[in-house]
Amino acid sequence: MSVVKMSSNPEPIKEIWYIDCNSMFQNYANFRGFSRSTDSDTTFGGLVFGRKSRKQVVHVFFAYSEDLTESNLTFIQSSLSADIELLGNLQIDGVSPLIGDGFTLQLTIGMLESRNIDQFLDLNTMFNNEHIMLEGLSLVSKVGYEWPLRAGREGEDAKNACERLSCASFRFTYLNVDKKVVIREHKEKEKIGKQLDEYSKGAVPYKDALELIGLQSITRDTSQDPEDQKLVPTVKINRDDKHFTKLINITEVVAPAYYGEDSFVIYTRMREAFNRRIQNNMIVLVNGIRKGRGVLPSTSATFLPPGWASLLNLQLPTKWTENEQKVYRIRLHKLFNLPPSKPCLRISQVLALHSETPSVTNSKLLRNPHMNISNYKPVGEVTTVRGSYNYHHYMQDGIDDNGWGCAYRSFQTIWSWFILNGYTDKPVPNHRQIQQCLVDIGDKETKFVGSRQWIGSTEISFVLNSMLNLECRFIATNSGNEVVEKARELARHFETVGTPVMIGGNMLAHTIIGVDFNENTGETKFLILDPHYTGSEDLKTIISKGWCNWKPAKFWSPDHFYNMVLPQTPSEAI
């Protein structure tokens, strides 16, 4: 894309566009959350991305002047959903550098700091404030391709190979045999209206996916060949003994298909998604070559970062050292205005849209069952866990722990939260591994391994500390009544930290995943995930029978003491 400097007073656009102001303000807060050395230039601006055809601004990214470059723009665009393009720039207090085509949003630092939506709308009269989430599904496919990179010219060859592949990407056809879906090159006049409405109605792209087999067509439309005659086949044989590296890339192509869209739009978008992926791949590869890391494949990853209304598609350099990857992630957090202290781009947070996407957690488990409680009427202010977790309970994984494994299961739920929120890539330990850890740190004797002995809140904190280097806070109570008194403290925990809380007492362990607390009446309810459930992963039963549901204060026995473990998140976690 060419860089075009624009005038600071663009033509007024006489049409209504949509923007999510809160998302923009959050991006600004995240952008400012990264510390900066005092001697660097503090002028900043930003880029606006969205859907022209729907007049929607989907992303507003803030960036310091030195980051507003053509190469960053290309990289950002290659990472975004295929339906999202550059719309324009930000001008903050009239001094920002401008890049690319499109309109310019007028902002002030005061407005951004105070999150003043009215002020934004007054300055930018073409906008309405609206959260944007479209009805549709993700089309997902895996494709492989090879790049031969000649020794000493790897970077240059990678760029050219990417360009050639992009030219030839019309060769890819995507099929779903069961559903008889064909997404392939065709002329606009041959389009089929509402091609995937049957599947996209009521769907959301981060959750609902249509898996397609990606195929490479060796047949092409020859109707527009400039010559009737083709050339005879040729066999070129080269024996010049040149060295080259063959890089095999397997990438995941993800593109949204929204309700109502025709086959031409869907095919064009799938092709654009493929082209963006390979460009992203090429940029990461060339970046690695320039930094002397050699020719290394990268891994496709699709994320839904917090607060985003569309997906982020990245090629992650998973063969780089852990430290190099961390530096890279921090860079990405800055570019995409992601939270400065919360992981968003870890492999464990990848959306498993494709059946072959490796998952650290057990995909058969129920995720966030509490989100399916529909008939609850809050008594006060509700706060719940922040981020996803899996429901671990008795009898899973072929282990009969009925009667003794509830704290182990609560621990596993907590661990799954740390995986799904990007704090660890280590799989959830089983009972034996938990026991072994307690033996290894000297808390238990060797015979504890393989036993059916219970563990409690202390042991849970020991294992989290030993295996994940995490700290825990404790709340100790002398009775169930005191648990209720700690509701405010729990609410604060969920607001600031957000991890599930294990509570042990009366010979039982539970997981608290939310509180509902009325400041005025004192009425309190607890959202409990009960590890004692022994049935199958049947969401309806789990909700209706109360295995995951809101419990009144009397749920806690006044005659028993309870201890709560509140796992903390590390501060440097990106």
Min. distance of Cβ 163 from other proteins in angstroms?
Answer: 5
Binding residue for other proteins, selected from 14, 218, 375, 507, defined by CB under 8 A: 218
Closest to other proteins by CB, 244 vs 376, is 244
Which residues make Cβ contacts (< 8 Å) with residue 97, sequence separation at least 6? 43, 45, 65, 68
Contact between 247 and other proteins per CB under 8 A: yes
Identify the active-site residue in 21, 162, 344, 406: 406
What is the DSSP code (8-state) at residue 367?
B
Contact between 239 and other proteins per CB under 8 A: yes
**Residues in contact with other proteins, shown as a per-residue x/- string from 259 to 288 under the rule CB under 8 A:** -----x---x--x-----------------
Contact between 1 and other proteins per CB under 8 A: no
By CB under 8 A, what part of segment 153-182 binds other proteins? 153, 157, 160-161, 163-173, 175, 177, 180, 182
By CB under 8 A, what part of segment 26-55 binds other proteins? none
Closest to other proteins by CB, 182 vs 204, is 182
**CB crowding 484-519: b at 16 or more within 10 Å, else e:** bebbeebbebbeeebbbbbbbbeebbbbbbbbbbee
**Phi-psi sector, 307: left (phi>0), alpha (psi -120 to 50), beta:** left
Min. distance of Cβ 435 from other proteins in angstroms?
Answer: 37
Name the nearest CA neighbour of 79 among 362, 316, 318, 400: 316
Is 406 an annotated catalytic residue? yes
Q: Are strands 299-303 and 548-552 parallel, antiparallel or unpaired?
A: unpaired
Edge-first strand order for the sheet with 127-129 is: 103-107, 85-92, 44-51, 56-64, 17-19, 127-129
Contact between 400 and other proteins per CB under 8 A: no
Contact between 225 and other proteins per CB under 8 A: yes
By CB under 8 A, what part of segment 530-569 binds other proteins? none
Closest to other proteins by CB, 166 vs 568, is 166
**Helix/strand/coil (H/E/C) assignment for every residue in 307-322:** CCCCCEEEEECCCCCH
Name the nearest CA neighbour of 351 among 382, 383, 310, 319: 310
Closest to other proteins by CB, 194 vs 220, is 220
Closest to other proteins by CB, 126 vs 182, is 182
Contact between 150 and other proteins per CB under 8 A: yes
Contact between 249 and other proteins per CB under 8 A: yes
Identify residue 146 by its one-letter amino acid code: E
Name the nearest CA neighbour of 344 among 567, 574, 28, 500: 574
Lookup result for tokens 């992203």: 280
Q: For the purposes of burial, counting CB atoms within 10 Å of the CB of 312, is it exposed (0-12), middle (13-18) or buried (19 or more)?
A: buried
Closest to other proteins by CB, 315 vs 383, is 315
Part in contact with other proteins (CB under 8 A); list of ranges 20-28, 50-58, 295-303, 381-389:
295-303
The residues annotated with a catalytic role in the active site are 406, 530, 532
